[in-house]
Amino acid sequence: MSIILASGSPRRRELLARAKLDFELLSVDIDETPYDNEVPKDYIERMVATKAQAAIEQLNLKIKTSEACFAEPIIILTSDTIGVLPDGQTVLVKPTDREHAYRMWQQMSDSIHEVWTAVQATQVSLPLDIPEPTSQEQGFQILDQRQITERTEVSFIPLTTQMMSDYWESGEPADKAGGYGIQGLGAAWVSRINGSYTNVVGLPLAQTLALIKEMQ
C-alpha cells in the first residue's frame, strides 16, 4: 500500500526516512489560525483533518488532469505539532514575528510546557467502476481514518533577553511550533523531557509506524 506524507516539514520527512519507510511527499497549505476560544485538542485534531482533506483534493486534481495514476489504496499521513502551556488552554504555534516569539518564550522560561503532535492516517482509494480516467465524478473515497495524539513534557531553563535575541537572529525559530527546535540550537534551552523525543521534533515515530501498521 502506497504511503503519502502530506507535509512540507523536512523534520518529518527525515524521521520517516530513518525508519526506512517508502513514501512520497505532498505539500499542503492550509490556514493554521486557531479559532477564538478553541482548545488545544480541538485545534490540533482540526489541523490534521483539514490537511488530509487538502491532500485528497490535490490528489483528485492530479487524477482529473491525468498527471498521476493510483491503482491501489493509499495511506495519507498528516501531522501537526503545537506547544501547550501548563494552563492546558494556551496554544504555542509557529511565531508570526519576533515579538510573538518573545511572548511565547517568556511564558516557557524556567517552566514546563507540553508538546502535542497529532497524526492522522487516512486510507483512500479510487472507485473501481469509473468509466473514464478523467471523469468529473472520479475522486478518492475514504476507506478508513484514524488519529493519535502524543504528548511530551519539556522543561526550559531560565531565558534571558540576550538568549532570546541571539536565538531569533539565528533564523531557526521561524517555522517551528513554540518557536524552537529541540533538534537544533533550541536544544540548549531544554533541561529535560518526559516522553517521546521524536514527538518534540515533530512526529512521534514509533507511534506513527504502529498506526501505519494498523491501517495496512
Check if 80 is active-site: yes
Q: Which of 36, 80, 97, 175 is catalytic?
A: 80
Burial 49-83 (b: 16+ CB within 10 A, else e): bbbbbbbbebbeeebeeeeeeeeebbbbbbbbbbb
Distance in angstroms (rounded) separating the CA atoms of residues 30 and 23: 22
Residue whose entry in the numeric block shows the C-alpha cell 513534557: 153
Judge residue 160's burial from the number of C-beta atoms within 10 Å of its C-beta, 0-12 exposed, 13-18 middle, 19 or more buried. exposed
Q: Which helix (H) or strand (E) holds 191?
A: strand 190-194
Task: Check residue 122 and give left, alpha or beta (phi > 0: left; psi -120 to 50: alpha).
Answer: beta
Q: How far apart are CA 172 and CA 65, in angstroms?
A: 38
Positions annotated as catalytic residues are 80
